Structure 1
Amino acid sequence: MEQSTSVLILGGSGQAGGDAAALLRRWHPALPLTIAGRDIDRAQRMADELGAATAVTIDLRRSDLGLPADHHYSAVVAALWDDHLNGLHYAQHRGLPYLSISSGLVEIAPEVVASAQRAHATPVLLASHYCAGATVLATLDAARALDRIDTIRISAVLDELDTGGPAGRADLERWSTATSAGLVRRDGVFTWIDGSAVQADVTSTDGTVLPGQSIAILDVPSLAHATGAPNVRFDFAVGESAGRRRGEAASFEVRIDLEGAGPAGAPFSTSRYLVHPAGQRPLTALGIALGVERLLGLRGEAVPPGIHTPETLIDPAYAVERLVEIGAVFVGAQVNR
């Protein structure tokens, strides 16, 4: 599909937005991109590095984002926290596909309501999942080995030196302020937990156990509804990653544990780690790029107007191919903890 207008990436000179733009440039060399940020010099440097890209400044307090009326775009990507939701409104009023990654489960209600009120206007991809949906997609790919899934447990280690740029750190601070409770699915019921129930040990790839806790994250309802699993939990620990303990860069580590029944109906369990030696940044960028590619119709059928999540639009097997392509690896883990 030819794109004559540009993808507007709000926060495109930041870590997640910039790396997503670089992936899109690699996959689709002729795709026009617009890097939008508050610092025009930084945005222009990014645009120059990408090629076939322009740079603009934006004002998220304005409904027109401070952009000239004669500028036209093919999609809007919010790779930062837009507390006025003006990026979404800008996309809706112009009928443009929209993607966001920073609302999180605890802040998503205003975005959902705004999207629902104009559901006919444009496709909206809500990707405020861990790494913009990359973990959900990797889990769903692993789930193909089971005929029935009873339990999903995701255990993630975020290195304290790998919390992203200022925007990423601000997201984590807001989410932790909003709630210290975790959201799990237990026996088919979405349940808030706190106190001792929220605490969890998270085991790193080298066997080191870090203290963590269940968190309220969109991965839980996405995986529960996509698989029908009655028990879903996402545990999260911040600490030194296995990569840094080896004297290398901060690494990305997510353990995916699945329990259920295999093709013959017998009990079946599988456990594996999704690892990247360069931390969470490449995976978050990949999640964004996969979403943009899909929204633009560069892969797959046209996306209809309405509210979407990553697993409803993106093929998990294709996502895993792209994960491996950017240097992620899957490592087997012992089933018994």
Structure 2
Amino acid sequence: MEQSKSVLIMGGSGQAGAGAAAVLRRWYPTLPLTIAARDLDRAQQVADELGAATAVTIDLQRSDLGLSTDHSYSAVVAALWDNRLHGLRYAQRRGLPYLSISSGLVEIAPEVVAGAQRADAAPILVASHFCAGLVVLAALDSARDFDRIDTIRIGAVLDESDIGGPAGIADLQRWSEVTSAGLVRRDSIFTWVDGPDAQAGVASVDGTVLPGQSIAVLDVPSLALATGAPNVRFDFAVGESAGRRRGEPVSAEVRIDIEGTDPTGAPLTTSRYVAHPAGQRPWTALGVALGVERLLGLRGEPVAPGIHTPEALLDPVYVVERMAEIGTTFETV
């Protein structure tokens, strides 16, 4: 499907936005992209490196985003925190697909309500999961051999020097101020956990165990509802990654443990490490790019208006293939 209108990437000069734009450019050399940021010089630098891209300034305090009425777009990506939801409203008024990654589980209510109130306006992809939903898709890929899933446990390690740029750091700070509790599914009940109940050790790929805790992340309800698993938990640790301990660049590491039964009813368990030698940034960029590709109809059927999550739109097998292409390793333990 040929695209003549440009994808508007709000926060396009940041790590997630610029990274996603670079992935889209590799896949679709002629896809028009608009890099929107508060600093026009930074946006122009990203646009120049991409080619077939333009740079604009953006004002999140204005309902029209401060954009010229002479331009029209094919989709809107919020690769930053838009606390007034002007980007979402801008997309809805124009019937454009919209993707966001910075709302988090504790902040998605306004997006969901806005989408429900105008359910026929355009598709909204809520992708404020860890790494824009890639861990959920990798877990669903690991779950393909199960007939019934009883437990899913995710353990993610984020290097302390790989938290992200200013926008990513601001997101983490904002979420931590809202709640220190984690969300788990236990015996089919979504439950908030805090204190010792939230604490957990998270094993790195080299066997080092880092202190971590359960967090309030969209991955938990996404995995629980996609698989029917009555027990789901996502533990998160920030510390020195295995890559940095080896004297190499920071790495991103996720362990996926699944328990259940196979099609014969026999017990089945699987454990897999998913890792990237360049940290979480390539995953987040890929997650955003996959969402844009799907929303634009560049792959798959047209997306219906309404609220969507990554696992509702993306094929786990395809996502894992794309993850491997960018250097992700998968190791069964």
TM over 0.5: yes
Look up the match of 1:100.
100
Aligned partner of 1:250: which letter? Answer: V
Using the size of structure 1 for normalisation, the TM-score is 0.98
* 1:268 aligned counterpart, secondary structure: strand
Aligned partner of 1:155: which letter? Answer: G
Look up the match of 1:121.
121
Runs of 5+ consecutive residues of structure 1 not aligned to the other structure: none
Runs of 5+ consecutive residues of structure 2 not aligned to the other structure: none
Q: CA deviation at 1:263?
A: 2.2
Q: Which segments of structure 1 move beyond 6 Å, counting only runs of 4 or more?
A: none
* 1:91 aligned counterpart, secondary structure: helix
* 1:223 aligned counterpart, secondary structure: helix
Using the alignment, how far apart are the partners of 1:243 and 1:224 within structure 2? 31
Using the alignment, how far apart are the partners of 1:253 and 1:177 within structure 2? 25
Using the size of structure 2 for normalisation, the TM-score is 0.99
Using the alignment, how far apart are the partners of 2:159 and 2:115 within structure 1? 34
Aligned partner of 2:224: which letter? Answer: A
* 1:324 aligned counterpart, secondary structure: helix
Look up the match of 1:260.
260
Look up the match of 1:227.
227
Using the alignment, how far apart are the partners of 1:196 and 1:315 within structure 2? 36
Using the alignment, how far apart are the partners of 2:273 and 2:61 within structure 1? 41
* 2:278 aligned counterpart, secondary structure: coil
Q: CA deviation at 1:181?
A: 0.6
Q: CA deviation at 1:131?
A: 0.1
Look up the match of 1:328.
328
Look up the match of 1:245.
245
Using the alignment, how far apart are the partners of 1:43 and 1:282 within structure 2? 19
Look up the match of 1:188.
188
Look up the match of 1:290.
290
Higher deviation after alignment, 156-165 or 112-121? 112-121
**2:74 paired with 1:77:** no
Q: Deviations over 1:16-54 (max 9, x none)?
A: 100100000001111100000011111111111101100
* 2:259 aligned counterpart, secondary structure: strand
Using the alignment, how far apart are the partners of 1:184 and 1:220 within structure 2? 6
Aligned partner of 2:116: which letter? Answer: A
Aligned partner of 2:27: which letter? Answer: W
Look up the match of 1:26.
26
Using the alignment, how far apart are the partners of 2:186 and 2:42 within structure 1? 47
Q: Deviations over 1:144-194 (max 9, x none)?
A: 021110000000001000001000000111111110111000010101111
Using the alignment, how far apart are the partners of 1:137 and 1:207 within structure 2? 24
Using the alignment, how far apart are the partners of 1:106 and 1:151 within structure 2? 23
Using the alignment, how far apart are the partners of 2:286 and 2:142 within structure 1? 18
* 1:102 aligned counterpart, secondary structure: coil
Using the alignment, how far apart are the partners of 1:100 and 1:116 within structure 2? 16
Q: Deviations over 1:297-319 (max 9, x none)?
A: 00000000000000000000000
**2:186 paired with 1:151:** no
Using the alignment, how far apart are the partners of 1:287 and 1:212 within structure 2? 24
Aligned partner of 2:331: which letter? Answer: V
* 1:319 aligned counterpart, secondary structure: helix
Using the alignment, how far apart are the partners of 1:225 and 1:264 within structure 2? 23
Q: CA deviation at 1:114?
A: 1.2
Alpha-carbon RMSD across the aligned residues, in angstroms, is 0.6
Using the alignment, how far apart are the partners of 1:271 and 1:227 within structure 2? 17
Q: How many residues align?
A: 333
Using the alignment, how far apart are the partners of 1:61 and 1:14 within structure 2? 19
Q: CA deviation at 1:264?
A: 1.6
Using the alignment, how far apart are the partners of 1:222 and 1:87 within structure 2? 24
